[in-house]
Structures are given as structure tokens and as C-alpha cells.
A and B are shown apart, each in its own frame.
Chain A
Amino acid sequence: MLPILQIGPLALQTPGLMYLLGLWFGLSLAEKFAPKRGISADALYNLVFTGLIAGILGARLGYVIQYPDAFLASPLSLVSLNPGLLDPFSGFAAALLAALVYGARKKLEVWNTLDALTPFFGVFMIGAALANAASGAAFGMETSLPWGIALWGAKRHPTQFYELAGAILILLTLGRLSKQDSRPVGTLFLAFLALTAGARLFFEAFRGDSTLILGEIRAAQVIAWLVLAGALWG
């Protein structure tokens, strides 16, 4: 809805900026609480950046493997800054792998580290919702409700703001939960997963752009159910 922020001659891509802010604030918040869990702020920072860099390299590599001819015809594209030349799944896999290797080397305990990273994930989800609000992506179904917003040729559910409110509530809930020290390690991260999956399950129903599988089922809701079940079981 505001894809470009024009400051004089400078045109900033608002969605990208929101992701960056989410990353930055999220990491700062996680660094603040990490020492309480016996993890140094530096270790956490390095972990996230190792994952991030591996993620970007992996995402580009994954894309090149899918379209080798396009890159053979224009090898310079290998180092292009276009985010469109990244494969999200490969990037996620590479980031996870790099973080696991880094964590193992530094002898970071997995569940404790995930708990320490939870504020980062929580803030990042807020950044992602703001990015969608800026670009108008992840838009809602048509509605006649009074709070519907005019977007893409119809009055629609403001799903981006539902998701923003959800992400803020989840972060606040996690903040309260983290004050209770008696809980077993991993609880905070699993709570984040369960709450985020639950919120997605609910808000996905108002989306106008869902991927449907088997005719009528929204793919994201199936995944959210699985994550929710896994988190509650954990």
C-alpha cells in the first residue's frame, strides 16, 4: 500500500526496509535477553549472521541450479542484487544447516538457543507483517465489514493488519512467559511456534490469495495444523 518511500531523490523499497528493521530490532532484543540464558550476545549475533549469509548464498545457488541456462547466458547475473533470483526453500535449508554447524562448534545447546532466539523470531514476524502491509501482498478476501480497506479493486479484509496485531500480541505473550523461570527449556520457542501457527490458521481464513490444495483446502492451514500439533506435542 506504500511500496516506495520517497525521501527527496532517494526511493526506498518499504517492504525490504521493514524486513531489515525486523531483523535489526529482533536481533537487538534477543541479544539483550541472551546472557540470562548463558549465551553471550556475540555468539547469538554470529549465529544469526552465519545463518543469514549462508541463507542468501544457498538461496542464490538453489535458484541457479533450477535455471542453469539463464545464468550460462548471462554469468554476471550470478552476483545480481535482484531478490527475485533467490530460491526461498534452498535459502532456508542452507541457513538452518549453517546455524546447526555453527551452534555445534560453539557447543550451543539447541533448545536453550532456540529459546534465546525466540524474541528475534517474534519481532521478525512483526517486520514481515509490516512488509506485507507496505506492498499490499498477502491481501484479504472481499468484505462489506466497516473496517474493510480499498485494495486491488475491491473492499477487502485488512489481513496485513490482522497479522500485525497477532504478531504484536504473540510477542507480548512471550514476554510475559519468559519472566517465569520455572518452565522447562524449549517452552518459549514451542509457545512461539504454537501461537504463530494458531494465528496463521485463524487469519488465513480471511486471505484472498491462499494456495488451495485438493480443491478446497488452504495449503497454509494444513502446514499450520502440523506445526501446531508438533509444538503442542513438544
Chain B
Amino acid sequence: MTGGGIPAPQAGFLAPDFTLNTLDGETVTLSDLRGQVILLNIWASWCPPCRAEMPAMQRVWEEYQARGVVVLAVNSTVQDTPADAQAFVTENGLTFPIPLDTSGEVTRLYRVSSLPTSFFIGADGVIREVVIGGPMAEALLRSRVEQLIKEMR
């Protein structure tokens, strides 16, 4: 019995929708990914805990991608630069989409007050959990994603 259809950056509410261009020049709209489990991570290249949790996110993405899991690592470009983001992505061989929040719209929409902030979103588009700060342990990513895949069936 929660917010249901109201979009808000809190567990139990619909994940607020957005459309952004990625580092690779593609366009991502959150609501187009409905039906898949989403790990939405908001980060910046200068933030040490953000950098620390990325390799674990890459491993989880590689393993669970085929089972309907999407990792979206939104770079808070309003407080970063595309060049620094690109350098970090290349250095770590990250292959999931990196949407660029150039205007800071998503950072504000999701009331991000501390980097990193991560949102686990179910296949129904409803936020299940908000994790403020990091780094998140790999087992946390794995167990939450497993749980959300189980709910999807």
C-alpha cells in the first residue's frame, strides 16, 4: 500500500522517467526498459566510492544481462566532464550504458544529495530500494538483482 502510480525517488514509488543521451551517442528512456530489472546508479568520475563499486557492477551486468537485468550508470555530468567519464569507462572496460546528465535534470529529479546513489527498480518500474553512498558490495548487487529477477517470474 504505497505511492503506486506517483513518481518519486523513494522505495515503493514509480521511478521518475527521463530520457538522456549516452556516452556512446545513443538515447535511453527509462520507461522503455519496463519489463526488465534496472540498477540505476548515479555517479561522477571524481568520487572514490563511485569508482570503487563500478567493477562489481560490470561483473554483475556481464552475468545477468541475459536474464533481463539492465545497469544504467548515469554520469552526473553537471558536476563532471564527458572526457573524465570516458577516461574512467575506458580504463575499467565498462560496457553498460552511461547516460550523461549534462543539465543535472536526473540528479535533481532523483534528489541525489550524495554520490553515488543507486536505485533498484523492479520490472514493474517501481523502486524497491534506494542505496545512498557506497561502495556497494558485490554480494549486495547480486542478491538484490536475484531477488528482483525472482519477483519478475
Chain B residues with a Cβ closer than 8 Å to the other chain, count: 26
Q: Is B140 a contact partner of A84 (Cβ separation < 8 A)? A: yes
**Chain B proximity of A43: nearest CB distance (Å):** 36
**Chain A proximity of B16: nearest CB distance (Å):** 9
| B104 CB–A CB distance under 8 Å | no
Which one, B6, B113, B114, B143, contacts A152 given CB within 8 A?
B6
Which one, B114, B129, B131, B139, contacts A11 given CB within 8 A?
B114
| B97 CB–A CB distance under 8 Å | no
| Chain A residues positioned under 8 Å from B113 (CB to CB) | 3-4, 6
Which one, A3, A74, A137, A153, contacts B139 given CB within 8 A?
A74
Supposing A84-B140, A152-B10, A153-B8 touch, asked if A74 and B56 sit within 8 A by C-beta, the answer is yes
Q: Is A77 a contact partner of B13 (Cβ separation < 8 A)? A: no
**Of A91-99, A115-123, A189-197, A205-213, which binds chain B?**
A205-213
Give residues 171-225 of A contacting B (CB, 8 Å).
208-212
Q: Is A77 a contact partner of B138 (Cβ separation < 8 A)? A: yes
Q: Can you name 6 extra interface pairs (CB under 8 A) apart from A6-B114, A70-B139, A85-B140?
A: A3-B113, A6-B113, A67-B142, A136-B10, A139-B10, A153-B3
Q: Which 7 A-B pairs have the closest CB atoms?
A: A77-B139, A80-B137, A74-B138, A70-B142, A67-B143, A77-B137, A152-B8
Chain A: residues with CB nearer than 8 A to chain B? 3-4, 6, 11, 13, 63, 66-67, 69-71, 73-74, 76-78, 80, 82, 84-85, 136-137, 139, 152-154, 208-212
A-B contact pairs, 29 of them (CB 8 A): A3-B113, A3-B132, A6-B113, A11-B133, A66-B143, A67-B146, A69-B142, A70-B139, A70-B146, A73-B138, A73-B139, A74-B138, A74-B139, A76-B137, A76-B138, A80-B140, A82-B131, A82-B136, A84-B136, A84-B144, A85-B137, A85-B140, A85-B143, A152-B3, A152-B6, A152-B10, A153-B8, A208-B1, A210-B1
Chain B: residues with CB nearer than 8 A to chain A? 1-3, 6-8, 10-13, 56, 113-114, 129, 131-133, 136-140, 142-144, 146
